[in-house]
Structure formats: structure tokens, C-alpha cells
A and B are shown apart, each in its own frame.
Chain A
Amino acid sequence: MLHYLVSDNQHPIIAVIYPLLLAVGYWVYRHWRFDLLMLAGGCLSCIAVIQTLLVKALGGSDAGLFLLHALLLLGQASIASIWLKHVQKGQTP
């Protein structure tokens, strides 16, 4: 999926299928059959796609961009872990 999303000759339908798949996954594993592992997998997939698209869009030709990519990646991982911990707390009786 990641390959199709970030490849140069991607089909436009992939850009529709992927968010749809994420949304369905979120609903299923958050509200229907709660599974934190699957939600974490979705977060990791999202981070991988966003970061790859960012690297493709901004490039990495100078030092500042490398730092920016590092900070953006760490920021995404922090947000994901805070959200997952929040969801975990919400589910614990």
C-alpha cells in the first residue's frame, strides 16, 4: 500500500482507498472490537505514509531539511503515543 501511495505513477483511487481503509480500521478497532495493537499499527502506517510523502515533497538536499524531517517524525510519533495511551486509559475500567 505504501509503495502504491508514494510511487510516482500512483493511481488516483489509491488516495481514496487508503484513507477509507484507515477510517474503517479506526471505527472497527476503536468502537466495535477494541484492539489497541491494530490502532497502533494504523498509527505506524499513517506515520510511514506521511513521512515518505514529506520526504518526497521537500527532499533532503540541505542540513535544515534533515533536521526538519527528524523533528516532524518525532512529533508524529509523540502525538501517536499520547493518543494511544489516552485511548488505553479510556478503555481501562
Chain B
Amino acid sequence: MTNQPLLHKTLRDAGINISHEYSSPAYESPWFIKFLIGFSAWVASWFLIGFVVLSLKPSINSTETFMAVGAVLLTVSSIILYRPRNEFVDNLALAFSLAGQIFLAFALQTMLSWQNPEFWWALTLMQLTLCAIPNFIHRVTVSAFAGITLAIALAHSGAAYIATVLVLAMGAFTWSYELKHKHWMRFYQAVGFGTAAALLLIQYGLRFNAGTIFYAIPTQQWATPAMGELLTVFIATAVLWHITRRVQLSGNQWAFALGVLALLGVASGFAYGLLQATVLLVLGFYGGNRVLMGLATLALIAAISSYYYLLDTTLLIKSATLLAIGAVLLLTRVAYRRLWPEENP
């Protein structure tokens, strides 16, 4: 950790004036404390649902009651979270909001049915609206839900194979422009973490056979798997262009980088999600964000493990494919070090 008094003294001695804004930085609680609060609020929200359902037992079955209870809970939580008070009240508001969202989702399900894309679009719209509430944990949670519901909505609208790619695009945009606007930094970070968590949850969902919600749906699919991979390569290229624009890559380096991206795109055709996780990993490395790198690594493991447990290919072919992907990537690294030794001291 930085020794603030020593740093300030050194800067002052060097004639650098430190403004009051930077002299006493607010303590930022680490991700695991935020996770502890968020997880407790999530469990508490189910207790609150139990409380409301048992309290209103005779009349709770109607859609209107679900809708009214959800709206009241969300309104109360929005008012509380808009101006932070104390730890307990903020956690309670977080639990109110989660419970309210579940009640509204139940009401929407009764009205529209989960098999209709309109239901998932309505949920996405609700989650995106809730992103306006200025609470970091709340924003991360609703962004993650928004990412998941957006992907399912797209899948039910015939775009299953580009659904997660659009969620990735959202995450790539927020992490690329995180530092661009100082006042929006916290917003970008929250949405970025939310979308990364959404991608990870979708990846694990696919791993544990939740894929039916994406692919085994009656809707006619207009997007093809190749379209999804091409779009992912395009996003990866855009991210690469964004993070290397100050370094000025040479033409050969660009050609090499595009070759690697194309290679990862092909590998992603086998182990779905490999390139998406790599994009997140690169963004985490670019921003020095260890939490994002951790999430990306988990997504990478999920992609490889999902592929390894696929039932439509023999174990021998899957092992050989993974071996080939690993060998080619390692050879690429060796080639890069040989071609540009000055970049790899």
C-alpha cells in the first residue's frame, strides 16, 4: 500500500502542489467486502420475499399485487440508495431492491410468459433503468442481471449466437473508456464489473447445461455461429486498437496481432467463449485491474471446461484440439519474442 504522508512530503519537496481533493483520498473498500454485502443482501431479499408472501397470503396470487409490492419496494430502495445513510440502512435498501425486482419479474412472467422475447426485453429495460441508482454494489448487480437478460432476450429474438458478443461489447466499451470521463468512472467500473460477471455466469450456465435457454428455443435463428465469432474478432481488434493507440504498433506487429486474434477466433469456434474471456483478460491487464483479470481467468477456465465436457465429440478429439490450441498459442508467444526481442527484454 502507498505511504501517503511520505508521498505527499516528497511531492511537496519537489515543488508539486497537491490539491485538497487528492490529499485525503476516501477509503475504497475492496471487492470482497462489497461481495459480502451484496451476497448477504441477496439472501436477505429471499427472506423478505418470504415475509411479504406470508403477510399477504390470501391476495398474493394476483399479478397486480406482485406488481404493486415490487414497485413499492423498488421505490423505497431507490429513495434510500440515492442518498447513502449508514451501512445497515443501505444494505436493507439493497435487499428491498432485489426483492422488488423479483416481484416485478414474477408479475411480468404472469403477464407475458418467460418463453416470449418481450418478457426478457422488459426485464432488460427494467434492469437498465435501475442502473441509474447511484450505489456501486446495486449497479454491479443490476448490470449483471441486465447482461444476462439481454443475452436471453437476443437469443429469443433469433440472435442466440451474437447475444453474448453484444454483452462483451458493452463490457469492452465501459472498460476502454473507464478513465476517459472522471465523473463517470465509478459508473463505468460498476457496469464493467456487472457485464464481466454476466459473461462469466452465462459461461458457467452453458457449462452446466443451461444452454437450452439460449439455443434450444423454437425461435428461428437468423444469426449464425460464424457471425458471432467474426463480431468477437472485430471487438477484440477494436480493443487492441484502443489500448495500443499511444504505442504506435508497426504494420508487421499489427499483422501478427490480427493473425493471433484470428487464431483465437478459430479456437473459440471449438471452445466457445475463449476469445471473449481473452478480451476481458487484456482489458484487465490494460487497466491493472486484478479483479477483472480474475473474472476473465475464471471465464477462460469455464470456456475450456465447457468444451471438454461436450457430449457430441469424442474425448480423444477434444483432448487433441485443446492440445493443439495450447501448442499453437505457446508457439505464437515464442515467435513474438523472437520477432521483436526489443519489446521483450
Residues of A within 8 A of B (CB): 36-37, 40-41, 43-44, 47, 51, 60, 62-64, 66-67, 69-71, 73-78, 80-82, 84-85, 88-89, 91-93
Given A37-B32, A66-B51, check contact A85 B27 (CB 8 Å): yes
Q: Contacts A70-B95, A77-B37 given: A93-B29 contact, CB under 8 Å? A: no
A residues near B1, Cβ cutoff 8 Å: 91-93
Are B51 and A70 in contact, with the CB atoms below 8 A?
A: yes
Do the beta carbons of B29 and A73 come within 8 Å of each other? no
A84 to B34, CA, bound (A): 11
B36 in contact with A80 (CB, 8 Å):
yes
Check if B33 sits within 8 Å of A40, measured CB to CB: yes
Interface size class of B (residues with CB under 8 A): 20 to 34
**Which 6 A-B residue pairings sit nearest by Cβ, starting from the closest?**
A77-B40, A70-B47, A63-B54, A66-B50, A66-B51, A78-B87
Question: Within the assembled complex, what's the spacing in Å between the Cα atoms of A69 and B95?
Answer: 12
B3 in contact (CB, < 8 A): yes
* Contact status A84-B91, CB under 8 Å: no
Contacting pair B47 A73 (CB below 8 A): yes
Chain A residues with CB below 8 A from B126, complex form: none
**Contact pattern, B 36-47, Cβ under 8 Å of A = 1, otherwise 0:** 110111011101
B87 near A81 with CB under 8 A, answer yes
**Assembled-state Cα–Cα distance A41/B33 (Å):** 9
Please list the residues of chain B having a beta carbon within 8 angstroms of any beta carbon in chain A. 1, 3-5, 27, 29-30, 32-33, 36-37, 39-41, 43-45, 47-48, 50-52, 54-55, 86-88, 91-92, 95
CA distance A77 to B5 in the complex (A): 32
A62:B47 contact, CB within 8 angstroms? no
Chain B interface secondary structure, helix, strand, loop or mixed?
helix
Q: Compute how far the CA of A47 lies from the CA of B40 in the bound complex, rounded to whole angstroms.
A: 9
Which residue of A51, A66, A85 has the most chain B CB atoms within 10 A of its CB atom? A66
Can you list 19 pairs linking A and B with CB atoms under 8 Å apart? A36-B30, A36-B33, A37-B30, A47-B36, A63-B54, A64-B51, A66-B48, A67-B51, A70-B45, A70-B47, A74-B41, A74-B44, A74-B92, A76-B40, A77-B36, A77-B44, A78-B88, A81-B87, A82-B87
Which B residue's beta carbon lies closest to that of A67?
Answer: B51
Q: Is the CB of B87 within 8 A of A63?
A: no
Complex-state Cα separation, A17 to B343, whole angstroms? 54
Question: Judging by beta carbons under 8 Å apart, are B51 and A40 in contact?
Answer: no
Count of A-B residue pairs with CB < 8 Å: 92
Query: With a CB–CB cut-off of 8 A, which chain A residues contact B47?
Result: 60, 66-67, 69-70, 73
Contact B55 A92, beta carbon cutoff 8 Å: no
A44 to B55, CA, bound (A): 30
Chain A, interface SS category: helix
Residues A81 and B33 in contact in the complex (CB < 8 Å), given A74-B91, A74-B95, A75-B88 = yes
Tell whether A92 pairs with B27 under 8 Å between CB atoms, given A66-B47, A69-B47, A74-B40: yes
Known: A40-B32, A40-B33, A71-B44. 5 other contacts (CB 8 A): A66-B51, A71-B92, A74-B95, A80-B36, A84-B29
Chain A residues within an 8 Å CB radius of B88: 74-75, 78
B92 proximity list for chain A (CB < 8 A): 71, 74
- Residues of B with C-beta under 8 A to A41: 32
**A60 contacts B50, C-beta separation under 8 Å:** yes
By the criterion CB–CB under 8 Å, are B32 and A88 in contact? no
Residues from chain B with a CB closer than 8 A to the CB of A63 are: 50-52, 54-55
Q: In the complex, what residues of A have CB within 8 A of residue B48's CB? A: 66-67, 70
Partner of A88, one of B29, B39, B45: B29
A37–B41 Cα distance when bound, in Å, is: 19
| Closest residue on chain B to residue A93 by CB atoms | B3
A23-B57 Cα distance, complex, nearest whole Å: 44
B50 and A77 within 8 A (CB): no
Chain A min CB distance to B136 (Å): 13
Question: How far apart are B114's CB and chain A's nearest CB, in angstroms?
Answer: 26
Q: Most chain-B CB neighbours within 10 Å: which of A74, A84, A92?
A: A74
Residues of chain B within 8 A (CB-CB) of A78 are 37, 86-88, 91
